[in-house]
Each structure stands twice: as structure tokens, then as C-alpha cells.
Amino acid sequence: MKSNFVTGTLKNKQLFLQKLKFNEMNKTDLFDFVIQYFQKSMPIAETELEYDNPFELIVAVILSAQCTDKRVNQITPELIKRFPTPEKMAVAEPSEVLDYIKSCSYPNNKAKHLVGMAQKLIELFNGKIPDDIDDLQKLPGVGRKTANVIASVVYNKPAMAVDTHVFRVAARIGLSTGAKNPLQTELQLVKHIPQDLISKAHHWLILHGRYVCIARNPKCTICGLTTVCKFYQKEKIV
């Protein structure tokens, strides 16, 4: 009896070869393939948050938690106009900041975080945004993800910020394996991505997750990574 590969349709043969290629690919090959793909398809990858200086960026990143960049970009112009420096924001009441950010998620907590961040920034760092991950996390409202964003975007440090998009995309493609939290994903990613590309890779994965590999109904038909994607191999052609 002839095998299905011999007697099957051209489509079945292509799927057979695709699965064969997928199964033979090791982690290093996978990362190389993904990096080369993004270098060609997304040569320019950067944050979609709008800012003019490090202080404005940290304000925007704090506001962006569980909120879209589009919404944050609508909020920040008037907020920054009123509180353009850490010194101005540090003496504000959270209720005054709240008036400018009501349309974003969790505005009460974020108003407190912004004022506290500005105060601590002056107290500990003379109003200058630090470039160290641990120092950044001393600021209210700044967790590891936000600290990595600032270090990466402002100071071009090899820091991998893992948000929901990066966490999802890395797991689906197979760049991360069995990661149960953002830190585990981060450690797996930076192990295989060249240091000079880590800051850009952060944006590659975020933008891919935001516009292609979306949480529900990912747009696999327009994705150039299906031949190596663990999720696609399992969900679409098995």
C-alpha cells in the first residue's frame, strides 16, 4: 500500500513537508528564523506611545497598563501640559491628576502612582529617570515590565519587557516553553536573542501580537511565521 504522502493531494504533501521541517527545527534555528523574518518584515519597530522625553515616557507607560496605547496618547498631551516635569507632578494632589486620566483604566490607582512616582523620582534620583532596572522599580507604579520598557526604549539597554502580547506570542510560536509567568518568558527570550537585538525584539513581539497574533482568532493567513509556529502546527494543520 502506498503511503498517504505518495497518494495524497499536493496540499497534503506540502503539509507533510511543513510538519517535517517544524519537527526538525531546534530552538536556535527557530529563533534565527523568527529574527530574520522580523528583520525583513518589520525593520523599524518602536513603541507606539508618544513622548518627547524620558519623564513623559514613564508617565505614558504607567498609564498604559491594561489600557491601549491609542487611549494613552489621547490622554497624555493635556496631562503633560499641566504637569510637564517631575517637580510639577510631585506637588499635585492625586485628585487633580485624576481629572486628566479618568478615561483610562484604573485611573484612581494610576493617579496615586503618578504623583508618588514623581515624588520618589525627586527624592531618590534628583528628578532624572534612572537607567537601572532595580532603581526604576523603586518608583511607585513601576514594575519589572515598565522598568524594562524604560531601560530599553530610553537607554537602549538589552531589556525584554514581557506584557500580555509578548507572553502570548512567545508561547504560541514556541520561543518560550512552559513559562508560567512573564519573568520566565523574559529569561527564555534573552537567552536566545542577541543582546543588540533584544530591545527591538521586544517591539517585534508586541506589534506582532497587537496586529497579527491577536488573542482571539489570530490572523494566521497573513502571518509569515506559520511554517515554524507551534500554535499553527497544532491548531491549524494537525
Based on its alpha-carbon atoms, the radius of gyration of the chain, rounded to whole angstroms, reads 21
d(CA 111, CA 115): 6
Catalogue the active-site residues: 145, 163
Maximum alpha-carbon separation in the chain: 82
CA distances from 88 to 103, 109, 122, 129 (A): 22, 19, 11, 15
d(CA 31, CA 43): 16
d(CA 233, CA 230): 5
Q: How many residues does the chain have?
A: 238
**Amino acid (1-letter code) at residue 14:** Q
Burial class of 237 by CB neighbour count within 10 A (0 to 12, 13 to 18, 19+)? middle
